[in-house]
Structure 1
Amino acid sequence: MRCELITFGIADQLFGIDIMTIREIRAWSPVTRLPRVPEYVAGVVNLRGAVLPVIDLSIRLGWQATECTPRNPIIVTEFEGQSRGLIVHDVNDIVSLDAEDLQQPDAVQNDYITNFLEGVAPLGDDMVMVLDLTKLMANDELDLAA
């Protein structure tokens, strides 16, 4: 069985998300900050009249905040009836992988990022880390923002 992913970069690392969870990729627009939300919630934007919570994926994965510019796209995901925007550094390609190529990363002790991965797969000379939206959105407090 094959899976199709949108690949994108964060902090010079290659990530992927199942293409079936992507609603759209939109250009950067400034976010409105909200009080009392987790640090990784950048804020909200207006998505055709709907309030869209936006996550700084870099912070969510345990890295430094993204210094956003008009070059930063927002990937809009639709997952379990909830829409979320993900700030990424750049969007690369749509790729197709064999599901059996997806390997579980060896959990390095205290490696925060492996908690959010569905797996890792070779892609040319690189490795793509495939994010698991179930884990990424679990226990989030974004419902307060929507």
Structure 2
Amino acid sequence: MNDTAASSDAVLELISFEIAEQEFCIDIRTVREIRGWTPATPMPQTPDYVSGVINLRGAVIPVLDLRNRLGLGRTDPSSRHVTVVVQHEDRIVGLLVDGVQETFQVEASLFKPPPAMGSTATDRFVDAILPMEGRMLSRLVVGALLPAEQRHAA
């Protein structure tokens, strides 16, 4: 039996960030890098939460306004904002956030299921709540945040 695999199931490493004075976290394994904010080039016919695209060392990637994606208003980006570059399966995107707070480890058993609020969007985006030290962090589902890919019939 692999002891490393057993212990990694019990402890998760997360990165937390702030959006609209709320705290969110995602699994650190999805994060490729954290970049200072740079203006994105707008693209026509994209969802309103897509700020545009940026050049990441030769790769053109979309940047999502996470505040807008979560229904918390639009971000008026400035130099204090941060782009968290994440990878989900074979897709790489930037998530525009107000600021990155910390990386930390936590036992998976401390997560609580989010309460049913009658909003399918919230149910999709948040899969767990982490109450810790007087704070409540919502864990985001990275794959659910990404724009739906166009599927072509075979």
TM over 0.5, shorter chain:
yes
- 2:95 counterpart of 1:86: yes
- CA distances 1:82-122 after superposition (whole Å, capped 9, x unpaired): 11000000100001111111111112123732320120011
In structure 1, distance between residues paired with 2:130 and 2:149: 27
In structure 2, distance between residues paired with 1:111 and 1:105: 12
> Whose radius of gyration is greater, 1 or 2?
2
In structure 2, distance between residues paired with 1:133 and 1:121: 16
Contact 1:62 1:112 in 2 (8 A): no
Corresponding residue SS for 2:16? strand
In structure 2, distance between residues paired with 1:90 and 1:96: 19
5+ long unaligned stretches in structure 1: none
Q: What's the counterpart of residue 64 of structure 2?
A: 55
- 2:143 counterpart of 1:134: yes
Q: Larger relative CO (CA 8 A, sep 6+): 1 or 2?
A: 1
Stretches (4+) displaced over 6 A: none
Identity of matched residues, %: 38
CA RMSD of aligned residues (A): 1.6
- 2:123 counterpart of 1:114: yes
Q: Give the counterpart letter for 1:3 in structure 2.
A: L
Q: CA deviation at 1:140?
A: 5.3
Q: CA deviation at 1:138?
A: 6.0
5+ long unaligned stretches in structure 2: 1-9
Q: TM-score, normalised by structure 2?
A: 0.87
Q: TM-score, normalised by structure 1?
A: 0.91
